[in-house]
Structure 1
């Protein structure tokens, strides 16, 4: 069975389950899937039951949701489609990084495997999408960088931004206004977890600009680990 033989709903669930568990400290639950999909918890439970019956996941009530090897292959194929389309929209069609997620959600179900491989070739086989999320290779290698959330770094820690979550377009637009994006060096000036803010210096030491971020924005930013 090709991934295109699955229903759009099954494709969405498999992609979301894999993406939700991709980065350290993240996991998929019935409630989190319901929130991300904008549907009732009961709807998610019914859909997971069908995926379990199809041999694509394993899930028992109140237990973790796990992809089977077959389900993982399909999930990675959908993630690859989504992220390549996002990259194509930004690089070739001039979309903003805050605009591409919803467009890719629609297009990923319509394009053929052949078109995805042509997009990949056209783009020069990119390894990450506009938000820094790794684009899995055709064989399923996700190229996951060693990174941690900016919100978890102590005072004085430094690194380079390698990923910014695209869960909230408003945060992406806000970071654009601050001039904070992928590959920018950052140094934590003060992590005020008690106050819900993180002050950071952006840029090289000789030309740094200090910015204060709220915790939702700081949690959306991932930087090189151990910097």
Structure 2
């Protein structure tokens, strides 16, 4: 028991507390009203880009939560469309939102990053599947939101990624709620059999594969090793090591 406690302390508790301390020492908006939600300018002007496009994006969330968690969303644009469509899940009202924020908007003043980007015919083929996955999300009604262990914003995007495996991207380890599953839905195996996830309702789990490396998951926090792109994954800090490659497919 002492060895287990030591592992939990070193791998999960200590990094999480360190990340919380770093966050507390920084400057954050006082509330959602004073936060910056404007466009970051990260995405091209859709009116000047005739190709279809798909982006999966994430940004740190607000307050001390941002020490441990990001908020994720997905953006699509059909060929010839003059605007993007952005899909999020939030914690108030009807949770699934379309175009509630700029496609590349900051989240609680935090700049977003692109996790994957697809353009052209490949993106165009996936947009109907993405829209179907958004519509099929089972936790899309009022009250269908729990900040922990889910279903939350990251649980929603993780569902879309599972339904559209061609996107071939994993949410970052700081995406608390990505491993949420309904109790009884314990095992997820990717169609190519290269990635296996085990989940106990998002409270604990394990992932092994080319997409995740090896991840131990506890209470929404992740400790792991990325083998394909060498890095260690720590609660709050995410990947430390080789930068994650952004897939730019056209």
TM-score surpassing 0.5? no
Higher strand share: 2
Higher helix share: 1
TM-score after normalising by structure 2: 0.26
**Larger Rg belongs to:** 1
TM-score after normalising by structure 1: 0.27
